[in-house]
A = this chain, B = another copy of it.
Amino acid sequence: MTPTRGYHHGDLRRALLDAAVEVIGESGPAALSLRDLARRAGVSHAAPAHHFRDKAGLLTALAVQGFDLLADRLRRAGDDLLEAGVAYVDFAVRHRAHFEVMFRPDLYRADDPEVRAASTRAGDVLRERVAGLSARDGGPGDPGRDSLAAWSIVHGFATLWLAGALPDRLGGDPREAARVVIRRLFE
């Protein structure tokens, strides 16, 4: 299982996932075609089925990858809830394709055990950060409510940013804009 060049034709699974990320990032999940991915990878149109069964299978794998990436990003953002929030938005923008799939459960098998596990892992990190904050400032707040509010505001901001719904005056740096908005939670 060497990472790059392989045996038969290359390591297809990764190549297909990478191509999917590229396509979705450019044109959205609706534009995704298994046959197109196969062409990009230089294999026949039925090859993807052996790795992912069907389209939903491929998107399920993408979702797992996405939740794991997100958990990693959140962890590396440190203990500060504000920075974790900024990292959440940053993740959504930099890994747009993953993010767009992750929260569209009608596109993949959301009940897949791998997805559930990965999604739980990411959720745990988020809750951890919120709990950390509540502890630090002598937090009165119900941590359930606080994490919901925090999650909602960063998720909403990220979604609206990706949808292109936000006004232009915010400029081109989502991290900076997100920081300002999230801080509103702490005042």
Measured as residues with beta carbon below 8 angstroms from the partner, the interface class of chain A is 35 or more
Given contacts A28-B107, A163-B104, contact A144 B156 (CB under 8 A): no
> B31–A106 contact, CB under 8 A?
yes
Contacts of A106 in B (CB 8 A): 27-28, 30-31
Could you say how many copies of this chain the assembly holds? 2
CA distance A181 to B185 in the complex (A): 11
Chain A 89-117 near chain B by CB (<8 Å), digits 1 or 0: 00000000000000111110010000000
Q: Shortest distance in angstroms between A153's beta carbon and chain B's nearest beta carbon?
A: 4
Main SS class of interface, A: helix
Nearest CB to that of A146 among chain B residues? Answer: B184
A149 on interface, CB distance cutoff 8 Å: yes
> A148–B157 contact, CB under 8 A?
yes
A46 on interface, CB distance cutoff 8 Å: no
Chain A 140-160 near chain B by CB (<8 Å), digits 1 or 0: 010011101101111111111
CA distance A157 to B170 in the complex (A): 22
Measured CB to CB, the residues of A under 8 A from B are 27-31, 103-107, 110, 119, 141, 144-146, 148-149, 151-160, 163-167, 169-170, 177, 180-181, 184-185
Q: Report the 8 A-B pairs with minimum CB-CB distance, sorted nearest first.
A: A156-B156, A28-B106, A152-B156, A155-B156, A149-B184, A152-B157, A153-B153, A103-B163
